[in-house]
Amino acid sequence: MQLKTKGLVLREVKTGEADRILTILTPEHGILSASAKSSLRLKNKLFAATGLFCYSEFVLFPGKNMYIVDEATPIEVFFELRQSVEGMALAMYFAELAATVAQEGEEAESLLRLLLNSFFLIGTQKKPLHQIKAVFELRTLFDAGFMPDIVGCCECGSAETETFRFDLSEGALFCQNCAEKIGAAPNISRSQLAAMQHMLYSEPEKAYSFTLLPEAMAGLSRLATHYVCSQLDHRFKTLDFLETVID
């Protein structure tokens, strides 16, 4: 039975002379693997719609070990991602993170929408890369069920100190005073905390609508990455390269 779905190509692996195996993120079915026969040939009907980061309308048929791409029509190909090494590296990291948290057979509409919006912002350069990165990381964890408690200090409830300690393993917040009591150094300022709260608690379409000084935004971006790696207990291969091109 054929399956019609929209989807974003997160990964492509060449097999044989001109075939590709695709990892596709779909809204209704989560992650799917599909074989795109002869899709690397320029004249093949699948060529334009099955490349990396192509968002397309797919017609798939079940095969022995994976789906077979029968038809694919491009919706958005995100050419702009390839305009800079930094943008491409960030997109590769986002794709790996999405492929890590998404599950086969489970709904992934919000994750797909977040990824498409992030790719658009990278390509159009409407927001700083560190800001796009932090929002995607935190919202992705939120979508996967890893919601930190950052309304106030987990010990006394205070949210009024100038600095805080965000515990990466527990996803909990300590005010400056309570952090000192347990011998933990502050790692987030009040302005960074406010930005983090906005990213997580606002409506998805408003998550990027905030401003933060570049140095503070870069620091928050690094903290978000540490939180992702801690919560998922995973080191991303694409992150190693990303950290060499985005300081």
Q: pLDDT > 70: what percent of the chain?
A: 100
Contact 14, 8 (CB under 8 A): no
From 10, 229, 27, select the one nearest 112 (Cα to Cα).
Answer: 27
Q: Quick count: other Cβ atoms within 10 Å of Cβ 120?
A: 15
Looking at residue 225, what is its pLDDT?
A: 97
The model's confidence at residue 1, banded by pLDDT at 50, 70 and 90, is: confident
Tell me phi and psi for residue 120, to 5 degrees.
Answer: -60, -45
Q: What's the CA gap between 112 and 76, in Å, rounded?
A: 13
The larger pLDDT score, comparing residue 247 to residue 89, is at 89
Weakest-pLDDT range from 79-83, 213-217, 224-228:
79-83
The model's confidence at residue 56, banded by pLDDT at 50, 70 and 90, is: very high
The model's confidence at residue 197, banded by pLDDT at 50, 70 and 90, is: very high
Mean pLDDT value of segment 71-100: 96
Residue 247 has pLDDT above 90, yes or no: no
Alpha helical stretches, state H, 52-155:
85-101, 109-124, 129-143
Residue 243 CB partners (closer than 8 Å, separation 6+): none
Looking at residue 235, what is its pLDDT?
A: 86
Q: pLDDT > 90: what percent of the chain?
A: 93
Q: What's the CA gap between 217 and 239, in Å, rounded?
A: 18
Residues 120-162: tens digit of each pLDDT: 999 999 899 999 999 999 999 999 999 999 999 999 999 999 9
Residue 240 CB partners (closer than 8 Å, separation 6+): none
Mean pLDDT value of segment 112-121: 97
Weakest-pLDDT range from 6-10, 61-65, 138-142, 193-197:
61-65
Instruction: Please give the mean pLDDT across all residues of the chain.
Output: 95
